[in-house]
C-alpha cells in the first residue's frame, strides 16, 4: 500500500493468497512463514517441531550464566526440537560442546539444518533417542542438562488452541504432565558430574508441584524456581552437591 507503483508478480500474488488461506484455516504464522526468531536468531520451523517461544529464552539465559562460571562446558539438550536451545547456547558460548537429542527424526533434521545455518554444527552432536543415548554414554559426562520436555497434562492440552496445530509429541506430558520428568529424574543423575546442574522448563501452573517432585527425587540438591517476564513459574534449576 505504501508503494502503489510496485507491481506484484502473478507468482507472488499466488504465494500470498496461499499463505492467507493457511492462516485463515488456523495454521500458525511461523509454519506459514517457515521461520521464526528466538534469542535474536532466525530458525527454520516446520510442523515437525514446536514453535520456539520467548518464555524459553529464560532457560538459555540461565544456561549461559552458568557456562560463564564453569570451567567445563559439556552440555546435553534433551528434546531439542528445532534446535533453538542448543544452537542459541552454541552461538553465544563457542567453547561449549553439546549433545542434542530428540525422539523425532524429522525434528532432528530441522535442528541439523538450523545448526548449519548458524555455523555451529561442529559444536553440536545430534542423536535420535528417547531422552539420552544410554547405550554408549559414559557416566558423569555432562556438567549441565537442559530440557524443554513435553509438560502439558493431556486433558489440559486437548483444550488449548495449539492442540492439533503443533506436534502433540512435543506437548503431551501425560496425565499429570510429569511422565517424562520422572523418567529423566531417574536417568539423569548417573550422567551428571558432581556439582552438575539441570535446567528444565515447566508448566506455569505446576511450579510448586514440580519443585516438590524434584525434591522427592533429589533431597540433597538445591532447587530454585524462576519466573518468566510475565511473572509465571517457568523454570526449575536443580544444583547437585
3-14 pLDDT, tens digit per residue, is 777 777 877 676
Whether residues 26 and 63 share a domain: the answer is no
pLDDT score, position 14: 67
Q: Does residue 51 sit in the same domain as residue 137?
A: yes
Total tally of structural domains belonging to the chain:
2
**pLDDT tens track of the chain, all 241 residues?**
677 777 778 776 767 777 777 777 778 899 999 999 999 999 999 999 999 999 999 999 999 999 999 888 999 999 999 999 999 999 999 999 999 999 999 999 999 999 999 999 999 999 999 999 988 889 999 999 999 999 999 999 999 989 999 999 999 999 999 999 999 999 999 999 999 999 999 999 999 999 999 999 999 999 999 999 999 999 999 999 9
Phi then psi for residue 158, to 5 deg, are: -70, -15
Q: Residue 209 domain-assigned?
A: yes
Q: Supply the pLDDT for residue 114.
A: 98
Determine the pLDDT at residue 225.
98
pLDDT at 8 (0 to 100) = 78
Contact status, residue 55 vs residue 151, Cβ threshold 8 Å: no
Cβ-proximal residues to 115 (8 Å cutoff; 6+ apart), any chain: 83, 86, 87, 90, 121, 124, 126
Asked if residue 215 and residue 168 are part of one domain, the reply reads yes
Predicted model pTM: 0.92
Q: What's the domain range around 27? A: 1-33
Q: 178 and 129: one domain? A: yes
24 and 118: one domain?
no
183 plus 213 within the same structural domain: yes
First to last CA, the chain: 61
Q: What is the pLDDT of residue 30?
A: 95
12 in the same domain as 114:
no
**159 shares its domain with 199:** yes
Determine the pLDDT at residue 197: 97
Are 105 and 65 found together in one domain? Answer: yes
Q: CATH number for the domain including 143? A: 3.40.50.150
Q: Is residue 173 one of the residues assigned to a domain?
A: yes
Residue 38 lies in a domain: no
pLDDT tens digits, one per residue of 81-111: 999 999 999 999 999 999 999 999 999 999 9
Residue 39: inside a domain: no
Residue 41, domain member (yes or no): no
Give strand ranges (E) for 31-130. 35-38, 41-44, 74-78, 97-102, 124-128
Cα 93 from Cα 91, distance rounded (Å):
6
pLDDT score recorded for residue 1: 64
Give the pLDDT of residue 3: 75
Q: Within this chain, do residues 23 and 52 fall inside the same structural domain, yes or no? A: no
Residue 235 shares a structural domain with residue 152: yes
Question: Do 97 and 187 fall within a single domain?
Answer: yes
Instruction: List the Cα angle 222/226/228 in 5-degree steps.
Output: 165
Rounded to whole angstroms, the Cα distance separating 219 from 169 reads 30
pLDDT number for residue 40: 97
Amino acid at each position: 500500500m505504501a508503494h502503489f507503483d510496485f507491481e506484484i508478480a502473478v507468482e507472488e500474488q499466488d504465494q500470498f493468497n496461499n499463505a492467507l488461506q493457511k492462516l485463515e484455516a488456523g495454521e500458525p504464522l511461523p509454519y506459514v512463514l517457515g521461520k521464526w526468531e528466538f534469542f535474536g536468531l532466525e530458525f527454520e520451523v516446520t510442523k515437525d517441531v514446536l514453535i520456539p517461544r520467548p518464555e524459553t529464552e529464560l532457560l538459555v539465559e540461565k544456561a549461559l550464566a552458568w557456562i560463564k562460571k564453569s570451567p567445563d562446558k559439556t552440555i546435553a539438550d534433551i528434546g531439542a526440537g528445532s534446535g533453538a536451545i542448543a544452537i542459541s547456547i552454541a552461538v553465544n558460548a563457542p567453547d561449549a560442546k553439546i549433545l542434542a537429542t530428540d525422539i523425532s527424526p524429522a525434528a532432528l533434521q530441522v535442528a541439523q539444518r538450523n545448526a548449519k545455518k548458524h555455523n555451529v554444527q561442529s559444536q553440536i552432536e545430534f542423536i535420535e533417542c528417547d531422552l539420552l543415548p544410554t547405550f554408549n554414554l559414559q557416566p558423569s559426562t555432562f556438567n549441565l542438562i537442559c530440557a524443554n520436555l513435553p509438560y502439558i497434562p493431556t486433558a489440559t492440552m486437548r483444550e488449548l488452541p495449539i492442540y492439533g496445530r503443533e506436534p502433540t509429541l512435543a506437548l503431551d506430558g501425560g496425565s499429570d504432565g510429569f511422565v517424562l520428568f520422572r523418567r529423566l529424574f531417574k536417568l539423569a543423575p548417573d550422567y551428571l558430574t558432581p556439582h552438575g546442574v539441570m535446567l528444565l522448563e515447566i508448566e506455569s501452573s505446576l511450579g510448586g508441584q514440580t519443585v516438590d517432585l524434584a525434591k522427592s527425587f533429589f533431597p540433597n540438591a538445591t532447587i530454585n524456581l524462576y519466573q518468566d517476564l510475565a511473572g509465571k513459574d517457568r523454570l526449575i534449576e536443580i544444583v547437585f552437591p
